[in-house]
Structure 1
Amino acid sequence: MRGVVFDFFGTLTDPAVESQRKQAFTATAEVLGVPAERFWAAMAGSFPRRIVGAYGSTRETLLAIARECGAKPDEEQLDRAVATHRSGAERLRTPRPEALAVLDHLRTQNYRLGLLSDCSSELCEAWPDTVYAARIDAPVFSWKEGHRKPDPRLYATAAARLGVPVSECWFVGDGGSREHDGARRAGMRPVLVTNAAYPGANLLRDDPDSYLPEHRIDDLGELIRLLGPSHDNG
């Protein structure tokens, strides 16, 4: 096993901050002049299309959603909304406490590290400036690829960009978007991060996975032990 492909939200990010997503959307709605609940409903309803790039950039997305909600923001208002929305998205990218140390350790063990995220425009636009970018060899974003998990093309793309056969890749995620079943079908070895210390986080998963992988860890730090001597990469 020479590659490890990670989910992003709730896996590398702190599951505890996911509860702040609605608060972040509320701040954007206020700038756009849209009722918070209406904006939240529109963003939630548009999620399947937003994450495959159907709305375009963050600016284009917010303009389209505002219009769907009956608002007509001017350019200055839209500028402020984009800045507010990006600020909220940055908070939601806070690393979980052990995430960066795990990535750094795996790199010292010569693993190739990939990312496979169902995400909208905000993550893609900000990626080069995140603390994750220098640690991930091959990021794959649904927004850029035009399809979402568990589409097998995403797993194949991640492996190809790592230069590692899918059969030699672990896939590590918290279980949304049927990602583990997708990984299994693609030929990767899936690992579920249960987030046992964050019981509320599981309720926020989109399209939860009914497939339960053989390999399960409660927190990301346990991955080092799982990939230890019995799965030595060196």
Structure 2
Amino acid sequence: MRAIVFDFFGTLTDPSAELLRKETLQTTAVALGVDPERFWTAMASSFPERVTGAYGGTRDTLRTIARRCGADPDEERLDQAVTTHHAGAERVRTPRPEGLAVLDHLRARDYRLGLISDCSSELYEAWPRTVYAPRIDAPVFSWREGYRKPDPRLYATAAARLGVPAGECWFVGDGGSREHDGARRAGMRPVLVTNAAYPGVGGLRTDPDSYLPEHRVDDLDDLIRLLGSSHDIG
């Protein structure tokens, strides 16, 4: 294997930070002048459209969802809401405790590192300023590409940008968005991160994968050991 492609949320990020998602969105709702529960419901139901860029960037997305909730925020409110929303998104993408060290370890051993994330605009907009950006050679974002996992084009794009055939890539993720089945069909070797040390977060994944990969690790530290034994894996 020459390259490793990671999922983002719950895989490179702290899985427990997913528990903050509703709270952060409700804070954005207050900034917009929208009922928090109504906004949370509208954001959840619009996930497929938001992560494929249907509403544009964060400002336009918040305006669209606010109007769907019966509000029409002025530009000053939108300014405040965008700032609040980006701050909340930063909390949700806190790195998992061992995540950055694992990425650094893999880079030091000359693995090419990629990313495929079903994400809305805020991650794409903030990416160059994140701690992840210098460590990932080829990030692929659903919002930018216009399609989401398990669409085979995402995996093909990641492999092409890495300059590595899909058959020489591992795909590592926590199992949302049917990502492992997509990786398998694309020719990558899927690895499930079970997040066993984070009870209660597994049920938060969108469109969970019914396909269970042969190779599983409880945490990213275990991935290093799995890679070390990969010569024994057929």
Category of TM-score, reference length = shorter chain: over 0.9
What secondary structure does 1:192 align onto? strand
Distance between the aligned counterparts of 1:142 and 1:94, measured in 2? 20
Partner of 1:199: 199
Amino acid at match of 1:126: A
Matched, 1:182 2:174: no
Tell me which amino acid in the other structure corresponds to 2:10: G
Deviation at 1:199, TM superposition (A): 1.8
Q: TM-score, normalised by structure 1?
A: 0.98
- Tell me how far 1:23 sits from its aligned partner: 0.4
Give 2:31's aligned residue: 31
Match of 2:2 in 1: 2
Compute the displacement of 1:229 (Å). Answer: 4.6
Match of 1:135 in 2: 135
How well do the aligned residues superpose, as a CA RMSD in angstroms?
0.9
Q: How does 1:4-19 map to 2 (within 5 A)?
A: 4-19=4-19
1:230, distance to aligned residue in structure 2 (A) = 3.7
* SS in structure 2 at match of 1:190: strand
Return the offset for 1:221.
0.9
1:43 CA drift (Å): 0.1
String of CA shifts for 1:98-139, please: whole Å, max 9, x gaps. Answer: 000000000011000000000000000000000000000000
Inter-CA distance 193–160: structure 2 relative to 1 (3 Å threshold)? same
**How far apart are residue 231 of structure 1 and its match?**
3.9
| Letter of the 1:218 counterpart | D
Quote the Cα distance in structure 1 between the aligned partners of 2:131 and 2:3: 20
Residue of structure 2 in register with 1:149 after alignment: 149
Identity %: 78
Q: Give the Cα–Cα distance (whole angstroms) in 2 for the partners of residues 229 and 20 of structure 1.
A: 36
Deviations 1:118-176 (A, max 9, x none): 00000000000000000000000000000000000000000000000000000000000
1:40 aligns with 2:37: no
Question: What amino acid does structure 1 have at the position aligned with 2:125?
Answer: E
Structure 1 stretches of 4+ with a deviation exceeding 4 A read none
- Residue in 1 that maps onto 2:71: 71
Within 5 Å, which residues of 2 pair with 1:50-89?
50-89=50-89
CA shift at 1:53, angstroms?
A: 0.2
Gaps of 5+ in 2: none
Is 1:118–2:82 an aligned residue pair?
no
Secondary structure at the aligned position of 1:126 is classed as: helix
AA at the equivalent of 1:9? F
Deviation at 1:200, TM superposition (A): 1.0
Query: Alpha carbons of 1:81 and 1:108: their partners in 2 closer, same or farther (altered >3 Å)?
Result: same
C-alpha distance in 2, partners of 1:48/1:200?
23
Equivalents in 1 of 2:211, 2:205: separation in Å?
Answer: 14
Distance in 1 of aligned mates of 2:74 and 2:106: 47
> SS state of the match for residue 70, structure 1?
coil
Cα displacement string for residues 54-96 of structure 1 (whole angstroms, at most 9, x for unaligned residues)? 0000000000000000001010010000000000000011000
TM-score under structure 2 normalisation? 0.98
In structure 1, runs of 5+ residues without a counterpart are: none
> 1: distance between equivalents of 2:127 and 2:201?
23
Give the count of matched residue pairs.
232
